[in-house]
Amino acid sequence: MGIKNLHRLFRPKSVAVIGGSQKPGSFGAVVMRNLIDGGFNGDIYPINPRHSDIMGYKSFSGVDKIPPGVDLGIAVTQIAKLPRIVEECAASGMAGLIIISAGGKETGVKGRDIEAAIQKAAAGSELRIIGPNCMGLINTRSLLNASVSQQMPIAGKTAFISQSGAICASILDLSIAGRIGFSHVVSLGSMLDVNFGDIIDYLGSDPYVSSIVMYIECLTHFRSFMSAARAVSRVKPIVALKAGRTQAGAVAAASHTGAVTGVDVIYDAAFKRAGIVRVRTFEELFDCSGLLAKQPQPAGSGLAIITNAGGPGVMAVDMLQDYGQQPAVLSQETLQQLDEILPPFWSRSNPVDILGDATPERYVKAVDICMNAAEVSGVLILFSPLNIDAATSIAEALCSRLREKQKSVVTSWAGGDSVDAARRIFNHAGIPTFDTPERAVRAFMNLYRYARNIELLQEIPPKFHRRLDFNRENARKQVQSQIQAQQYTLSEITSKALLADYGIPVNPTVLAISADDAVIKAEEIGYPLVMKIASNDISHKSDISGVHLNIRNASEIRQHFQDMITNIASLRPNARISGVTLQPMLTQPHHELLIGAHTDPDFGPVLVFGAGGVLTEALQDHAFALPPINRHLARICIYETRISKVLQGFRNLPAVSLELLEEILMRVSQLVVDIEHIESLDINPLLMGDTWASAVDARILLKISPAPSPLHLVISPYPNQLENMVQREGCGELLIRPIRPEDAPLLQALYEALSPRSVYMRFFTPMRSFQHNMLVRFTQIDYDREIALVAIQESEGHETMLGVSRIIMDVTPDQGEFAVLVSDACQGKGIGAELLGQCLMIAKERGIQTVMGIVLSENTQMLALGKKLGFKIATMPGSSEYELTINLKDLRSSDIVKACGRK
């Protein structure tokens, strides 16, 4: 259901409190008091005890049943009574229900059965449910405290989401002391219905929310979560604490909310791909909440450190280095300005040590200079109580000066009771303050990590000089044949054949079933060569002397064959042995790498890259990534490993072609995208030379996937099935295909060739240039959320984009908005009709019911196109613009064919 009805749930005009007890201190009484004392000015209905024991609140008289059209219900009765209550809520047209009651799946089988009954009762309705086993929600802008927490936070623009009600209560308590404002506080509990993805989507569309902070024990609906987070994190920072990082923590989380946690490194990879900053401790989570609520985001890592003592400054620098950063390098101009206002013995570097006798005036002047320095992205102000009497006066002077700050400012007043008054001054002024320099640096760097990660994700990936082709049909036939034969562990030879179908370079390998057979095939291959035991039951062949290298003649072939068969029979008597495999011995200088994939039960296929060979497990030098990936994401994955430095050339080892390595990673990614039945894939080692690579060992395990490709992925891949060719008079044959991230230069060229009038017709404003963030927004799309097709003209290997059309899904999943852009030279040739027509048919297949768009009255060509495609055209009240709307239920493919002029 997406975020449908969440608007009414979070901004209700009426609330029904259902069940509970009228006794003071009970959940029912607490919820009633919180609604009233919080200032909620809508209608409140306590529901009388026809199916529960209570209700009421002094001046309120209860009603017998839920009135029709109530926006929000809050259930505080015993959970066993809820299925019947939920039926009544759904029948009344209620938008949302918060279930405070515990006793669901966290209690075991009985609780899971009750939750299933609640889901069944809500099925077929539009009722959204938060909980059970939750604290409720708070919306400060609506003065809504629909929770059991009696504390209402001060209003702010940061939203806090948590599965744990206790964590919500703790954050609320700390936020009041630290003067940290929140827009929303949401406790999701067991997430029977509304989940993290839904809430991120909703908060992403709320203009009064600028950042999101989350405490997560487990996730559900992983694909929708990734889709929502990837969309929202580009415009609003998202910070998450994922609990259950250790095995013991995972067990504790399971007993708490019935959570099932995944492998922690995969969560790291997923959060990074989604643009989420992951923190490790509750302290970090709270510190990030404070910084997000009070400060602008840092534009860079350049931190100026101003201190009245050397030691704290050194501690801050050490913490920066833990994050791989250095303090900002101050320019000569900045140093000269500081020389003019500081004593002659100041440090003349960053940290800026303004000495122990620093006065409020000296602090303010030094901060002013650093804040105005172009090389500085943020300022950390440190104070050590060398002069205790100055702690408060310095804080007051700084707060007065920093009210209109444009850069991030964090402070650390070290000490105990003597500096508490100064900390309170900072908190009331909205300036984050921390008890140690390390905490201050960590909070600053966590926000910088967000900005840097988004910057990396939004880099435009380069294109390969050639098209990457794959033999999908043959690969799928091979896999289906193995599954039909119930051969789920592929032999090395079959595994390599599958890799070869996807263009992954492999070392040719043959099977020999006897010593004589091995000699004959060795002569065909040529010496030197490698012999390996052929058995699907043995994964690590070298552990049991199942690999012999550099065999140079027939005599050695016979000897090694006999020794290997005898040795394996002794060490692994139950292993099924098919014979041995033979392959050429690669003697050129090379690196040993690992490239693989594993299917996680939650996140689907996960790619792994790192150091390979027999020391793979010992070195533990691996990076993980979620497919699909492009060249840019492949390079990020490579650079996250330690071995990446060696790959640039080390001693006698050559520097490798990173472009070739990126290509191999992309080809492996495409293989697991297309073939959903691959449970695991292991290329170890992949030998990598300067300009060559070869998979010398490979192992693939199959498992029948419950979901077809691409639904087994959590990130929607490029939909290659939508590619098609059309003919257009005056343009020749055109490729119609979905837009790709690599298309940014083509889109830029299309825009630059447009007339000012065409730009104005499309964007409703005379834009002078196409900014980088717009290029990223229009080319790096989520194929689950947006349909964008381009028309490409190809000539002698050169591509030209002639037009683009898109339909963007609305917050309501059955509605979308369209846009069309065609180059001036190609307008009137049916390209816009073709692109928009195909987009409409795709939208209909995806269940979108209505598509609309706004068109300027002078855009006669677009109005004519809309009429031809069957849009209803209506003037907008009080405007010269037109609204075009089409109901896709009535749209037929024949209508599109006719409108596009196709035969």
Instruction: Tell me the three-class secondary structure of 720-741, residue by residue.
Output: HHHCEEEEECCCEEEEEEECCH
Q: Is the pLDDT of residue 775 over 60?
A: yes
Angle at 574 between CA 572 and CA 578, to 5 degrees: 85
Q: What local confidence, expressed as pLDDT, does residue 23 receive?
A: 63
Q: What local confidence, expressed as pLDDT, does residue 258 receive?
A: 41
Residues of the chain with pLDDT > 90: what percent?
A: 67
Amino acid in position 817: E
What is the spatial distance between Cα 294 and Cα 779, in angstroms, rounded to a whole number? 33
Mean predicted confidence (pLDDT) in 362-384: 95
First to last CA, the chain: 39
The pLDDT confidence band at residue 772, using thresholds 50, 70 and 90, is confident
Residues with Cβ within 8 Å of residue 438, at least 6 apart in sequence: 315, 316, 319
Greater model confidence, 341 or 771: 341
pLDDT single digits (tens) 103-130: 888 888 998 999 999 999 999 999 999 9
The pLDDT confidence band at residue 462, using thresholds 50, 70 and 90, is confident
Q: What local confidence, expressed as pLDDT, does residue 62 receive?
A: 55
Greater model confidence, 93 or 652: 93
What is the spatial distance between Cα 188 and Cα 120, in angstroms, rounded to a whole number? 19
Q: What local confidence, expressed as pLDDT, does residue 303 receive?
A: 95
Where does residue 226 rank: exposed (0-12), middle (13-18), buried (19+ CB within 10 A)? buried
Closest CA to 633 of 611, 660, 665, 602: 665
The pLDDT confidence band at residue 256, using thresholds 50, 70 and 90, is very low
Q: What local confidence, expressed as pLDDT, does residue 901 receive?
A: 66
pLDDT single digits (tens) 177-187: 888 899 999 99
Average pLDDT, the chain: 89
The pLDDT confidence band at residue 259, using thresholds 50, 70 and 90, is very low
What is the spatial distance between Cα 352 and Cα 347, in angstroms, rounded to a whole number? 6
The pLDDT confidence band at residue 822, using thresholds 50, 70 and 90, is very high
Q: What local confidence, expressed as pLDDT, does residue 257 receive?
A: 39
Amino acid in position 335: L
Residues with Cβ within 8 Å of residue 644, at least 6 apart in sequence: 638
What is the spatial distance between Cα 166 and Cα 518, in angstroms, rounded to a whole number? 67
Tokens of 395: 């804080």
Closest CA to 15 of 24, 39, 25: 39
Amino acid in position 32: M
Q: Is the pLDDT of residue 651 over 60?
A: yes
The pLDDT confidence band at residue 50, using thresholds 50, 70 and 90, is very low
What is the spatial distance between Cα 27 and Cα 200, in angstroms, rounded to a whole number? 28
Hey, which residues does 96 pair with through a beta bridge? 72, 128
Tokens of 169: 């209560």
Residues with Cβ within 8 Å of residue 684, at least 6 apart in sequence: 594, 595, 596, 612, 613, 616, 697
Q: Which of 16-20, 549-553, 618-622 is predicted least confidently?
A: 16-20
Angle at 347 between CA 346 and CA 353, to 5 degrees: 75
Q: What local confidence, expressed as pLDDT, does residue 597 receive?
A: 95
What is the spatial distance between Cα 525 and Cα 552, in angstroms, rounded to a whole number? 12
What is the spatial distance between Cα 711 and Cα 714, in angstroms, rounded to a whole number? 8
What is the spatial distance between Cα 283 and Cα 270, in angstroms, rounded to a whole number? 22
Where does residue 248 rank: exposed (0-12), middle (13-18), buried (19+ CB within 10 A)? exposed
pLDDT single digits (tens) 232-253: 998 899 999 998 765 544 444 4
Hey, which residues does 732 pair with through a beta bridge? 728
- Cβ atoms of 393 and 419 within 8 Å: the answer is no
What is the spatial distance between Cα 75 and Cα 755, in angstroms, rounded to a whole number? 59
Amino acid in position 547: V
Mean predicted confidence (pLDDT) in 472-498: 95
Closest CA to 133 of 110, 115, 150: 115
pLDDT single digits (tens) 679-692: 999 999 999 999 99
Mean predicted confidence (pLDDT) in 748-775: 85
The beta strand positions in 785-871, using DSSP E, are 786-795, 798-809, 815-822, 850-855
Q: What local confidence, expressed as pLDDT, does residue 246 receive?
A: 55
Mean predicted confidence (pLDDT) in 746-757: 91
**DSSP tag of 60:** B
- Cβ atoms of 655 and 610 within 8 Å: the answer is no
What is the spatial distance between Cα 222 and Cα 179, in angstroms, rounded to a whole number? 34
Closest CA to 667 of 632, 634, 702: 634
What is the spatial distance between Cα 375 and Cα 369, in angstroms, rounded to a whole number? 11
Q: Is the pTM of this model over 0.75?
A: yes
List, as one string, the DSSP characters of 670-713: HHHHH-TTEEEEEEEEEEE-SS-EEE--EEEEE---SS-TTTTS
Residue 247 three-state SS: helix
Q: Is the pLDDT of residue 60 over 70?
A: no
Q: What local confidence, expressed as pLDDT, does residue 1 receive?
A: 55
Q: What local confidence, expressed as pLDDT, does residue 53 receive?
A: 39
Sign of CA dihedral 704, 705, 707, 709: negative
Closest CA to 44 of 6, 73, 75: 73
Q: What local confidence, expressed as pLDDT, does residue 56 receive?
A: 41
Q: What local confidence, expressed as pLDDT, does residue 876 receive?
A: 87
What is the spatial distance between Cα 681 and Cα 479, in angstroms, rounded to a whole number? 13
Q: What local confidence, expressed as pLDDT, does residue 48 receive?
A: 57
Q: What local confidence, expressed as pLDDT, does residue 459 receive?
A: 87
Hey, which residues does 610 pair with through a beta bridge? 594, 622
Angle at 316 between CA 310 and CA 322, to 5 degrees: 140
CB atoms within 10 A of CB 209: 20
| Matching residue, tokens 């691996």 | 622
What is the spatial distance between Cα 164 and Cα 187, in angstroms, rounded to a whole number? 6
Q: What local confidence, expressed as pLDDT, does residue 341 receive?
A: 96
Greater model confidence, 157 or 896: 157
The pLDDT confidence band at residue 544, using thresholds 50, 70 and 90, is confident
Backbone angles phi, psi at 737, to 5 degrees: -150, 165
Highest mean pLDDT among 664-678, 806-820, 839-853 belongs to 664-678
Mean predicted confidence (pLDDT) in 881-897: 85
CB atoms within 10 A of CB 576: 10
Cα-based distances in Å from 225 to 196, 643, 739, 773, 863: 6, 32, 23, 23, 37
Mean predicted confidence (pLDDT) in 585-598: 91
Tokens of 819: 């846009």
- Cβ atoms of 99 and 134 within 8 Å: the answer is yes
Amino acid in position 602: D
Q: What local confidence, expressed as pLDDT, does residue 698 receive?
A: 94
Tokens of 111: 């609780």
CB atoms within 10 A of CB 42: 16
Q: What local confidence, expressed as pLDDT, does residue 49 receive?
A: 44
